[in-house]
Amino acid sequence: MASLARTFASSLANRSYRAVPASASAFKFASVGFSNNDDQKQSNAGQMRHHSTTSVPDFSKYKKTKNSGEASRNFAYMMIGSTGLVSAAGAQATVSDFLANMSASADVLALAKAEVELASIPEGKNVTIKWRGKPVFIRHRTEAEIAEANQVSINELRDPQQDAERVKDPKWLVMLGVCTHLGCVPIGEAGDFGGWYCPCHGSHYDISGRIRKGPAPLNLEIPEYNFQEDKLIIG
């Protein structure tokens, strides 16, 4: 142990240390030296700018003044409002044109209604006209036919309807000439009940257009119609 201590002491005694060569003043000197170089560079750059031949325009009149922000905002609001008004006017014109095109023209309206001179149909006769692409039967019924139509008990009918429910004026029976079975056109003054007969599958209608026999499920349909003086207006 003693020899180990002696060896350690000897090594400490033989170790040499180098003196620190740099002092605080040396560092300060170096720092001052670098600072002087930067100032020189900046000074040179300033001289270069100072000697530049580029002329810069005067933009001072375009610079925003204190109230310019508010003025430009008001202008923007005015432009947005004006654009909205113009757009609304354009939309209104477009919608008006669209509706004008969608509305029925005079010739279409004329086709939608049919006008018949009642005086041209003798009593006891049928007339068939075309209305909206379909046949319409108009029958000028006799007193005997009216009485016959009213004698039928609705209990025996497949599609129970009084004759009075099917006419506005008992003299005039107005019906669509389309069989309610599969759409054939029945023949007038034919069949077992003195009314109409559909030859397609054998349906018989009476003098009120009610189904009495055969496969048709319903009475002949009554269209919208009115009387105007001595005219019948269908549709």
Site residues for ligand FES per CB under 6 A: 179, 181-184, 198, 200-201, 203, 214-216
* Catalytic entry in 50, 51, 201, 204: 201
Contact between 220 and 196 (Cβ < 8 Å): yes
* Closer residue to ligand FES (CB): 114 or 175: 175
In the complex with ligand FES, the residue whose CB is nearer, 207 or 220, is 220
Cα separations in angstroms, 146 against 76, 122, 143, 184: 80, 15, 5, 26
Least distance to ligand FES from the beta carbon of 183, Å? 6
β-sheet with 134-140: strand ranges across:
126-131, 134-140, 172-176
- Smallest distance, Å, CB 185 to ligand FES? 9
- From the CB of 198, what's the least distance to ligand FES, in Å? 3
**Residue 135 or residue 215: which is nearer to ligand FES going by CB?**
215
Q: Could you confirm whether 201 is annotated as catalytic?
A: yes
Contacts of 233 (CB under 8 A, 6+ apart): 113, 114, 115, 225, 226, 227
215 class by beta-carbon count within 10 Å (0-12 exposed, 13-18 middle, 19+ buried): middle
Q: How far is the CB of 209 from ligand FES (least distance, A)?
A: 13
Is the CB of 203 or the CB of 219 nearer to ligand FES? 203
Indicate which residues carry an active-site annotation: 201
